[in-house]
Structure 1
Amino acid sequence: MKFRVERDEFTDAVAWTARTLPSRATTQLQVLAGLLLDATGPALKVAAFDYEVAAQGEVDATVTEEGRGLVNGKMLADITRSLPAAPIDVSVDGTRLVVACGNARFALPMLPVDDYPTLPPMPEITGHIEGAAFGSAVAQVAVAAGRDDTLPVLTGVRVEIEGDTLTLAATDRYRLAVRTLKWRPASPDASGVALVPARTLLDTAKSLSGAGVEVAIALGTGPSGETLAGFAGNTRQTTTRLLEGTFPPYRKLLPDSSPLIAQLEISPLTEAVKRVALVAPRTAPVQLTFTPDHLVLEAGTGGEAQASETLPVTYDGPELTVAFNPAYLLDALGALESDIVRIGFASDEDAALAANKPAILTGKGGDDKTEIPDYRYLLMPIRLNG
């Protein structure tokens, strides 16, 4: 194997693919720590696979000798990042991969390429979506996914396809994020459900969110019958095994209406939450008290440090006091693609009852209060003592 590539393109492909490498590889599976360099086609392919996620990128290359090679991926990524701005020549010398760039030369021991597992193929394409819109939607939803690997179902993003509507949902039991958007299905009556690992989906969607990138989404099965999701665009492709289990019936948690709505600017609220939360222990809530002309944020009780701040608010209802985890509240404010946040409560008859029910955070909407927003973030309140 022998080829020449441009330094920046090769470095980007290696770095993007290497992010999929397992943090630890067992003695029996040392090959999984390797990046596969495949120069047997019209373009150089750089790939990584850990039996759960497969990532593959293509790079334009001048190939003078076809072949395949497997080399430690993290080491190759570190080396390519440090190379000077010049074309890179890669070749095989016996059992070593030689990387030469300018006056720099590296000889890396190769791993047995014949022991490397076969990458799963992309399932049949289910539809397409604009990359920037997809990346934004995934980021809005994945923020609510769980991080406890002992509850794997909650670490995923539920992807629902129904015709030209794509719905993404994630929850960790304390908050729920749901986003709906339009896409272009391969078939007008396309439908399906998949539970995709949130971290993989977020990383993949971010890498495909460049301007003008069209993302192909594929849901199907692999050669061994395993359920897979595939995402491809801009010479990059990722396939991942789906999570097993039953996702919570999240639609039952979403109220039909929010009779009480407080509306205020996101930027001042974000800064106020950050300041007030400085005196709160890590698990302590920030208390919000709504009145028709202002919002008071408070944290800290008893003999502890205390903080409060007042903000203007648009709110027409009884005085209402509610407490939220500040980190979860900030996640919601950061995910909204708006300069205004609308905080809706499910009851206008009893303020105490409303304060103990989930709040729905949405961005600035129209005058039609019955219209369902494209993005909804449900946040469970923290019950206050007394």
Structure 2
Amino acid sequence: MVDQYSPLEREAEGQMLMNRRSFLAGAGGVALATLLAGCQRSSAANLRLAMLANAVPAQLLRAFQQQPEDTITVAVTPEESLLGLYTLLQTWQSQAQGTARAPVADWVSLADYWLAPAIRQGLVQPLAVDSLRAWDDLAAVWPELVRRSETGLPSPDGSIWAVPYRWSHLVLLYDPSRLPRDRNQLSTWADLLRPELTRRVILPDHPRLVLGLAQKALGASANSETPATGLEAFYHDLHQQVRAYDANHYLESLLIGNATAVVAWSDDVLPMVKQYRHLAVAVPPEGTLLSAQLWVRPQVLEATANGSSLADDWLDFCLNDDFATQLAIFGQATSTRLWGVSPDQLPEPLQEPRGLALPPTVAEQSEFLLPLGAESEGRYLDLWKTVRS
């Protein structure tokens, strides 16, 4: 297969950014794994999903199966990372000419960051969303995110390539007890440069995320084709604050005192701060970076199957209000239906701790990472490598 990744996509491919699984599984994680295993055992599934084990809580899978008007059997293919799901799409595509292969999922959960390369590599197909009852109720941000040209670039004249169903945002997670008493709060990205945080910060090991938040700190767009004035100096100073680039084990570092602050995803952070109440969280008012999980349809499936009633029913199920409430309760995650909702209007599990939710005014300043031109991506990647070396 021809390599159609951009430089930064290749750099990110082996990173843990898209693994976004909370390691605070506990007893709930065991129960979830058991329920998913039960879904997989069906040999006569009429709906097949491929996703992370925690992307849709098992309680919601059961609720969809128990709808009275249909006999529904859901088979789930769980993957350890969203990179693994992307690899599944590549594997199915490479085996498309073969006669023997594992059943292809009707829907695959993919991160929005991977949508552009999936389109360019011909791994997914455009969707007909006119039949979805809930599609027109979504905020404009969602169709704009997934309406792309055949090169994967956002385009008002493009096709719809995915259906977003949950999202999260980057936050500052920190231990106030390890900061000076008179300055024991963090609120902005620039606060990460405070002298007391030297070698006390953990950042994601991903160039677009780190340089994107640096762009936000400087009042520029994370998707700017041109690095902001002062970006190199800001990132040089930020790098001096970093203890580690790690998206996987930062909680241990916070708890044992090896780090004071981390940048992490809101849906990973939420169960942590509920268990460890001495930790604090903030969303910088200058805006943050966003990530969405999408349902995409493998290109190798017959196009006529795209309009199947049950497949559309699953998408409508993931876009309705009940799903949003139950996703908050059982998954401690935010549905696309809740975009732009004030923190005090969110389902109760998402209202605490204060400071974690994304206020509408900050949401307006926040961004998804979008594809950049090869020259621009090369400049950012060169900066990332130069400073880190």
TM-score normalised to structure 1 length: 0.22
The structure with the larger Rg is 1
Structure with more relative contact order (C-alpha pairs < 8 Å, separation 6 or more): 2
TM-score normalised to structure 2 length: 0.22
In terms of fraction of residues, the more helix-rich structure is 2
